[in-house]
């Protein structure tokens, strides 16, 4: 179980926000934390602690320069997501990203767009692609949600679909929408399902707030998944020690 760090960028700054409050117009965004440091500061920290496979996420426009700064500081150590398309994916890899992360480019109008998925696989290669699945339950079934997490797609998150989608990418990044950014604990039900379903490296994001949460996660996934922690960390304004998380997950690998 690895700790996968994150650098979330909003309006050119490193922030931690409640994901469900992010709208296209950037109105009424709930910010848990706005850093006085730039993206390079965090990229350098993660490089020093030998944390690989973390993700830089551009939340809306105006974040390209900050993203490039992070990638250039830690070349090969970070993934990039947020507005990735077939037109810009290769350029981010050339700027130092280890992988590109796709979300809305392949989930469009409530459907999985296989044409776009095949296009980006052809452009960057399966081994450089991460698919982001933002999951929300409806009537006891998990679905991918889109449009700033407000719209349910028709894509059901189940074992068969997860394993089919795995043939097109190198990793999954899974957000538990209901708890993302809220520091209310991991979504245990989703984690248990994913741990049984996934066959490729998968990082879970959402709600982790304490060492007890990490211990619970570790006991559930049995090494099948990694975890990211955001707003709960002291480096992002929370109370959970970043150094303690790095040490714990290092021992858990």
Per-residue DSSP letters for the chain? Answer: --B--EEEEETTEEEEE-GGG--TT-TT--EEEE-SS-HHHHHHHHHHTT--SEEEEE-SSS-HHHHHHHHHHSTTTEEEESS--TTTHHHHHHTT-SEEEESTTTEETTEE-HHHHHHHHHHH-GGGEEEEEEEEEETTEEEEEETTTTEEEEEE-SHHHHHHHGGG-SEEEEEETTTTTT-S---HHHHHHHHHH--S-EEEES---SHHHHHHHHHHHTTS-EEE--TTBGGGTSSB-HHHHHHHHHHH-
Residue 53 lies in a domain: yes
Please report whether residue 1 resides in a domain: no
Print burial letters for 135-150: b (CB count within 10 Å at least 16), e (below 16).
bbbeeeebbbbbebbe
| 133 assigned to some structural domain | yes
At 27-60, the pLDDT tens digits run 566 777 899 999 999 999 999 999 999 999 998 8
Count of structural domains within the chain: 1
Check whether 253 has a pLDDT greater than 70. Answer: no
Answer for the pair 59, 13: CB distance below 8 angstroms, yes or no. Answer: no
The answer to the question of residue 50 being in a domain is yes
- Give residue-wise pLDDT tens across range 171-214: 999 999 887 766 779 999 999 999 999 999 999 999 999 999 99
pLDDT reported for residue 148: 73
Mean pLDDT of 19-27: 52
Summarize pLDDT for 159-175 with one digit per residue, the tens. 999 999 999 999 999 99
Q: What is the pTM of this model?
A: 0.93
For the ranges 48-52, 67-71, 105-109, 177-181, which has the lowest average pLDDT?
A: 177-181
Q: Tell me, yes or no, whether 30 lies in a domain.
A: yes
Measured in whole angstroms, the distance separating CA 209 from the mean position of its chain's CA atoms is: 16
Residue 200 burial (CB count, 10 A) = 15
Which pLDDT band holds residue 150 (cuts at 50, 70, 90)? Answer: confident
The CATH number of whichever domain residue 100 belongs to comes to 3.20.20.70
pLDDT digit string, tens, across residues 223-250:
999 999 998 999 999 999 999 999 999 8
Range of the domain at 81: 6-252
Is residue 82 predicted with pLDDT exceeding 90?
Answer: yes
């Amino acid at each position: 179980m690895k700790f996968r760090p994150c650098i979330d960028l909003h309006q050119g700054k490193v922030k931690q926000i409640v994901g469900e409050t992010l709208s296209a117009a950037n109105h009424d965004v709930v910010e848990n934390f706005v850093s006085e440091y730039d993206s390079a500061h965090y990229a350098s920290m993660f490089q020093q602690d030998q944390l690989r496979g973390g993700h830089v996420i551009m939340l809306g426009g105006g974040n390209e320069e900050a993203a490039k700064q992070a990638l250039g500081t830690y070349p090969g150590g970070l993934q990039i997501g947020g507005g990735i398309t077939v037109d810009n994916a290769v350029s981010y890899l050339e700027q130092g990203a280890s992988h590109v992360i796709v979300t809305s480019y392949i989930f469009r109008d409530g459907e999985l767009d296989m044409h776009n998925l095949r296009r980006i696989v052809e452009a960057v290669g399966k081994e450089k692609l991460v698919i982001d699945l933002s999951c929300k339950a409806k009537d006891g079934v998990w679905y991918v949600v889109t449009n700033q997490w407000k719209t349910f797609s028709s894509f059901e998150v189940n074992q068969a679909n997860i394993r089919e989608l795995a043939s097109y990418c190198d990793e999954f990044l899974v957000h538990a929408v209901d708890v993302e950014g809220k520091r209310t604990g991991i979504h245990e039900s989703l984690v248990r399902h994913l741990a049984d379903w996934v066959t490729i490296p998968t990082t879970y994001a959402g709600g982790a707030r304490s060492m007890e949460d990490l211990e619970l996660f570790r006991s559930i996934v049995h090494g099948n998944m990694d975890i990211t922690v955001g707003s709960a960390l002291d480096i992002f304004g929370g109370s959970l020690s970043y150094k303690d998380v790095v040490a714990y997950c290092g021992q858990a690998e």
